[in-house]
Amino acid sequence: MPAGDSFFIATPIFYVNDVPHIGHAYTEVAADVLARWHRQRGDDTWLLTGTDEHGQKILRTATSHDVTPQAWADKLVTESWKPLLETVDISNDDFIRTTDERHEKGVQRFLQKLHDDGYIYQGEFEGFYCVGCEEYKQPGDLVDGTGAFEGEQVCAIHSKPVELLKESNYFFRMSDFEQRLLDLYESQPDFVQPENVRNEIVQFVKQGLRDLSISRQTFDWGVKVPWDEEHVVYVWFDALLNYVTAIGYGVDDEQFDRRWPAVQLVGKDIARFHAVIWPAMLMAAGLPVPKAVFGHGWLLVGGEKMSKSKLTGIAPQQITDVFGADAFRYYFMRAITFGQDGNFSWEDISARYQAELANGFGNLASRVIAMITRYFDGTVPVAGELTSADLAVRETELRVTAAADAAMDRFAINEALSSIWELVDVLNGYITEQEPWALAKKDDQRERLATVLATALRGLGTLTVLLSPFMPTATRTLWEAIGQGELTSQPVDRAAEWSSAPTVQPLAAGLFPRIEQPEPAA
Ligand code: ME8
């Protein structure tokens, strides 16, 4: 078991009514980069992702395709959701489906406990339900419809009419937890991040919490309520529990205690479920709340939140087919301030690919390795006396490593990358100024040439270690050319301590090849 702290990070589990788009891939990549960073820092890391398969939304989609919801979910998971993880190179430790037996049993166990402890009661409920959100809506959540829905009240998120439902349901006494939740936000200010999401959550809870309807009776695609099989568990109550059923809630205490509590990474659209309902459920069960709930921003396409239903969805593979998974990961983590909304455009990714990856990092790697190959037959030179320019490179390596590590602890993923990129720029500037090609022409500058290339190579190796959580494939290729041992065993928080192989191997091709057709139609 790694010696470091436990770091359990979970993504939302995604609905299988449709195939993934780059918004889903964005959450996956952010969680994966954080997980790889922590793993490479020696933390006892666990990355969980999965799929949300119950509820009316999936049932209706399956029915409209003339298949059972289970068959529909199986098809989407096998053909689309698991392949997404390969497309963008996710190193998840587990994949949970809400139709897994381990999950369904766990949900029943949890609900039974809350029932036994007096947190569940039966009542009548009438309200407006949005199947897209799988949520009852308050009048304030509705807006006037347009086009085909002119004259109707529609969900502000899905722009579709809500349905008036009246049922006899089971309720969770969520209102009992209002003050405890407010105390939690107060005493642990970083429980909900970033600040704007936190403020929204605090405001919401301050307006008063109602009890939550947690069962449905009019359809049967869900986990059965253990004491009343006429009801299925409300899909959000069911889905949130994946974070604990996946790590052995109620059946494997050792695994549960080792992992829980988690860091929850979600889109800000579902921060309320994770920062209000979920901790209230955990409090009722006597379990610790998550370490943090981070609600990231939305990917926008042409200024609008990207979504399949609005036909702005882009499949991740459309981008990885052109630029590769590493560039996909780099681009979204670098170009968007993590926590804020960000616009995607083909022009922007093409420009960054060319300037930052191909010319900035890729070219640096090729040049350093080519010069050591040419001037020293590939044998790594030994540095002589260091000048202030050499020491400045060394200082940058240590400084950006510490800055990136601290930024990752604050979920400031884009800041970590821009710190690391200072080293790319410093190294490129250093080589331009030191002109090793000119030194190579003078016999009396042999020692200086050795020092310059040894310094540049040290910096390049540090970069390789620091960038490995972001771009696992390109850095692995580069490491095979310069490093010793496994790249992922190099502690990322001590990246400058890496050991080089005695000789470098020429790179067969550039790390980031020229893109012939950079702008396919979006
Ligand atoms: O809400 N920009 O699933 P879902 C950024 N099953 N991220 C986006 C995005 C966009 N335009 N669109 C989607 C559900 N996402 C529930 C979750 S968890 C117990 C249950 C990402 O398939 C983002 O992470 O609708 C968002 O929160 C999630 O996909 C919603 O996925």
Question: Average pLDDT of 92-117?
Answer: 98
Look at residue 516 and tell me whether its pLDDT is greater than 80. Answer: no
Ligand 1 proximity of 39 Cβ (cutoff 6 Å): no
How confident is the model at residue 141, as a pLDDT? 85
Amino acid at position 78, single letter: T
**158 in catalytic set:** yes
Helices (H), 89-187: 101-116, 178-187
- 492/36 Cα distance (integer angstroms): 10
Q: Which residue has the higher pLDDT, 454 or 124?
A: 454
Residues β-bridged to residue 143: 154
Ligand 1 proximity of 269 Cβ (cutoff 6 Å): yes
Q: Which residues make Cβ contacts (< 8 Å) with residue 214, sequence separation at least 6? A: 111, 120, 169, 170, 171, 172, 233, 234, 237
The number of the ligand 1 atom at minimal distance from the alpha carbon of 15 is: 22
Q: Which residues make Cβ contacts (< 8 Å) with residue 68, sequence separation at least 6? A: 62
**Helix (H/G/I), strand (E/B), else coil: 217:** coil
Q: Are strands 228-233 and 215-216 parallel, antiparallel or unpaired?
A: antiparallel
How confident is the model at residue 1, as a pLDDT? 57
User: Mean of the per-residue pLDDT values for the chain?
Assistant: 95
Rounded alpha-carbon distances, angstroms, from residue 219 to 42, 133, 223, 242: 47, 17, 11, 22
Ligand 1 proximity of 26 Cβ (cutoff 6 Å): yes
Token pair 């969805």 is at which residue? Answer: 313
Two tokens, residue 257:
């205690």
**115 in catalytic set:** no
How confident is the model at residue 151, as a pLDDT? 85
- 303/342 Cα distance (integer angstroms): 9
Q: Tell me which of 11, 16, 24, 240 to substitute to probe ligand 1's pocket, judged by most ligand atoms within 8 Å of the beta carbon.
A: 24
**442 in catalytic set:** no
Write out the DSSP string of 452-491: HHHHHHHHHHHHHHHHTTT-HHHHHHHHHHHB-S-GGGS-
- CA atoms in the 13 A half-sphere facing the CB of 141: 17
* Nearest Cα residue to 88 out of 308, 314, 372: 314
**308 in catalytic set:** yes
Q: pLDDT tens-digit profile of 279-299? A: 999 999 999 999 999 999 999
pTM: 0.96
Percent of the chain with pLDDT over 70: 97
**38 in catalytic set:** no
Say if residues 125 and 165 touch (Cβ distance below 8 Å). Answer: yes
Compute the distance from residue 3 Cα to the ligand 1 centre, in Å: 33
* Nearest Cα residue to 20 out of 99, 84, 65: 84
**89-93, 290-294, 380-384, 509-513 — which is least confidently predicted?**
509-513
Rounded alpha-carbon distances, angstroms, from residue 107 to 62, 212, 235, 238, 259: 23, 16, 11, 6, 18
Q: How confident is the model at residue 522 (pLDDT cuts 50, 70, 90)?
A: very low
**158-162, 195-199, 365-369, 448-452 — which is least confidently predicted?**
158-162
**Which residue has the CA at smallest separation from atom 3 of ligand 1?**
14
Compute the distance from residue 28 Cα to the ligand 1 centre, in Å: 10
- Quote the distance between the C-alpha of residue 360 and its chain's center: 25
Q: Which residue has the higher pLDDT, 165 or 197?
A: 197
Question: Average pLDDT of 73-79?
Answer: 98
How confident is the model at residue 310, as a pLDDT? 61
User: What angle (nearest 5°) sits at the alpha carbon of residue 473, between those of residues 470 and 476?
Assistant: 100
The number of the ligand 1 atom at minimal distance from the alpha carbon of 239 is: 19
Look at residue 306 and tell me whether its pLDDT is greater than 90. Answer: no
Compute the distance from residue 218 Cα to the ligand 1 centre, in Å: 26
How confident is the model at residue 279, as a pLDDT? 98
Two tokens, residue 142:
């509705």
The number of the ligand 1 atom at minimal distance from the alpha carbon of 240 is: 19
**103 in catalytic set:** no
- 4/356 Cα distance (integer angstroms): 33
Residues β-bridged to residue 228: 225
Question: Average pLDDT of 192-215?
Answer: 97
Q: Which residue has the higher pLDDT, 129 or 497?
A: 497
